[in-house]
Chains A and B, each alone.
Chain A
């Protein structure tokens, strides 16, 4: 196993398109790192550069202490699981898994041993003689994973491996890959556009946008302390609500929404941190789960009460999603209640004033980090 370092790595295409700009990522040995971001953010390109499938335009890629910019994919000792599985259709499951070992001239016994072991781990023992077309999507995905693990490479790379599976299977495979990581104690780099996968699987998450790294942090830190509005909106489901406004010092620091529909004094934890930003245009962020109703709000917490008219009510069983408009902005609230709420009625809701986020309206950077 090995650590992977990307130092000022960029990828420029002919014609001047830049896919990845000046990326610095440090992946420690045995770490599970997830690259996440919307389509076209450069996460797959970054992964493909680590794999050696894309040339690195500038910067250095270091695997296990060695610069590997000019090393061909086969000599990097990595394994990759592709989004479309990329199984060899003319080979059986056994041959698919054994292919890499055969090329590396392993003995027949060793190959047999490793393939059988991997098949046992992945529950593929009964399918070894089948061709990929005779397998279901989930089984194909397992074969793709099996092909990677038999090689015992330094680094595992996953390129959106679950996006072709149905929702139920995706959850199942997600936990299986996490288990596999614990079992193999391997360095893994995982690309996804699904922030739920990122949050649940990663030791460390790299959030990317437009080729730039936005933030590298643990899942909880990303959730609690996003460095900018993009990260705040991308991590968390449903996404964070943003209300534009400004800060005003009236003895105590107050947040006013832009058209003064509402204003409230900031909680004590923000007074000190945001003092320097008084008078500034800001965007306030609040996560849907930081709204409460009368029955669920806790004593001793500072709240601000709003009474919006509910537009849509989505009962999920253990909780309810509420949609309403505030300040001309569509707001989502997620209330842990089992009560039946009725659309087109006014409903008092409480914003937890200790869970707010503030971003500079101009550069969208967090004012709290």
Chain B
């Protein structure tokens, strides 16, 4: 009898242990795999940036070292100091900001109004203009480089902010207009109608009621326009020849010369350039996520 009790107890114990082990593996093994997967790709994404960072804090004589240490011996921020004191970096930042913010402003103003018009009104050539906008997205930017260049020469806009702002805006707008139109389509007509009965005219109904509701889409438009201008190199390289007008990508490239490349400065500048974009993304990420889902699901 005693033995039997012991046997039952032991069986129960083993059974419980087995269930616990099974549960443990079931719960943690899948999650563990997922984390492993995520960590692997995060490392792949972060490693190059880390490498650039390492390079930016290396002392001048160890730039081409093959050491894999993230923080090198004798690390220094001298390259950053040099960047701001011995180069035109501040000037390039100002240039880039002027161009990018103007493009962002133009993009937001034009895309929000054009998208609204296309979403809400019927007019002659609506379908064609939508297709035309879409069509511009089918050509690679490099293909448009020559015609744009010729046009700017004829308009005497080569080597000017206005020229590059027009080109950047024209590149970013089609996507932004489509995007805004898609978002407006999900906002019920009755909201504006209600506002118009409440006492708004058409324009008021748009900017008091519809525009605040379209904030997520506006954020995406703003980000897209900003990014188009901030990091663009090829078009800028053709249009801006005066070094005083250089934007950041052009400035960075000027660290490269035929005989040597200032990798330390290059690395430091690259990191500084990416900071505003990262900050912008972090601040706006909340809107970005809700914007992308809000546009697709009516809710």
Contacts and interface: CB of A to CB of B under 8 A. Distances in A.
A295 to B, nearest CB: 52
B85 interface: no
A33 interface: no
B107 to A, nearest CB: 23
Interface in B162-196: 188, 190-191, 193-196
A292 B201 CA distance: 59
Contact of B213 (A51, A78, A79, A90): A90
Contacts of B194: 80, 82, 86, 88, 147
Interface residues of A, number: 22
Given A84-B190, A90-B213, A78 B198 contact: no
A86 B209 CA distance: 11
Contacts of A183: none
A292 to B, nearest CB: 47
A10 to B, nearest CB: 20
Given A82-B190, A84-B188, A84-B190, A90 B197 contact: no
Contacts of B195: 88, 99
Which of B191, B194, B209 has the most chain A CB within a 10 Å cutoff? B194
B273 interface: no
Contacts, number: 55
B190 A86 contact: yes
A53 B199 contact: no
Contacts of A51: 193, 197
Interface SS of B by simple majority: helix
B190 A103 contact: no
Contacts of A89: 213
B18 to A, nearest CB: 48
A13 B204 CA distance: 27
B193 A100 contact: no
A262 B199 CA distance: 63
Contacts of B204: 103
A156 to B, nearest CB: 11
Contact of A100 (B191, B198, B212): B198
Interface string B192-225: 0111111111001000010011000000000000
Q: Is the interface of A mostly helix, strand, loop or mixed?
A: loop
A99 B205 CA distance: 11
Contacts of B191: 86, 88
Interface in A80-113: 80, 82-84, 86, 88-90, 99-100, 103-104
Interface residues on B, range: 10 to 19
A336 interface: no
A53 B193 contact: yes
A74 B199 contact: yes
A72 interface: yes
A86 B196 contact: no
B188 A86 contact: yes
A73 interface: yes
Contacts of A100: 197-199
Contact of A90 (B193, B196, B198, B212): B212
A103 B198 contact: yes
B199 A78 contact: no
Contacts of B209: 88
A74 B193 contact: no
Nearest to A147: B198
Contacts of A79: 197
Interface of A: 51-53, 72-74, 78-80, 82-84, 86, 88-90, 99-100, 103-104, 147, 151
Interface of B: 188, 190-191, 193-201, 204, 209, 212-213
10 contacts: A51-B197, A72-B196, A73-B193, A79-B197, A83-B190, A90-B212, A100-B197, A100-B199, A103-B198, A103-B199
Given A86-B193, A86-B194, 4 more contacts: A73-B193, A74-B197, A82-B190, A100-B197
Q: Which 10 A-B pairs have the closest CB atoms?
A: A103-B199, A100-B198, A86-B190, A86-B194, A82-B190, A74-B199, A73-B196, A73-B197, A90-B212, A80-B197
